[in-house]
Amino acid sequence: MARSRRSPTKGAVPAKVCATCGRVMTWRRRWERTWDEVRYCSDACRRAKSRAIDVALEGAICDLLVGRRPGGSICPSEAARAVGGDRWRELVEPARAAARRLATRNVVEITQHGRPVDPATARGPIRIRLSTQQAPPPEA
Ligand SMILES: [Zn+2]
């Protein structure tokens, strides 16, 4: 495949976050007319939108974090185990994607070595903790 580096404005390439996998997608020529409506980085992500398992993984991440001490963190594999049981290994990457989506919504932070990292570009082992950027909901 030919690699085209052309962008609409030299320098800053528009980018947005895929609604399924949470990774950054940068502007491509084929999205010239539809960029405002583009929500998924790939056909696979479009097909995978809002699968029940992904909703379950997001819920598991939130449940696990709520059960942790304040500031505590979890590994994506813990959410994968909570949802997938014996088949948890298949769900590790979907769990990471669920964490990225939650991070995009500012529900959680993705950390490496205890420091927040950009969820869309982080590679390697990550941990998940509740976002510190928003105040906890007021006590009822
Ligand atoms: Zn995607």
Task: Indicate which CATH number applies to the domain containing 79.
Answer: 1.10.10.10
Residues 72, 116, single domain; the answer is: yes
Instruction: Tell me, in angstroms, the distance from the centre of ligand 1 to residue 51's CA.
Output: 13
Q: Residue 22's pLDDT band (boundaries 50, 70, 90)?
A: confident
Which domain-ending residue is among 32, 48, 64? 48
Distance 49 CA to ligand 1 centre (A): 9
In the chain, the number of structural domains is 2
C-alpha 26 – ligand 1 centre gap (Å): 11
Distance in Å, CA 135 to ligand 1 centroid: 29
pTM score: 0.67
Indicate whether 57 and 24 sit together in one domain.
no
Q: Are 65 and 132 in contact (CB under 8 A)?
A: no
Q: Which range of residues forms the domain containing residue 22?
A: 1-48
Per-residue model confidence (pLDDT) at position 136: 52
Rounded mean pLDDT, 5-27: 75
Helical ranges in the chain per DSSP H: 43-47, 52-66, 76-84, 92-104
Percent of the chain with pLDDT over 90: 50
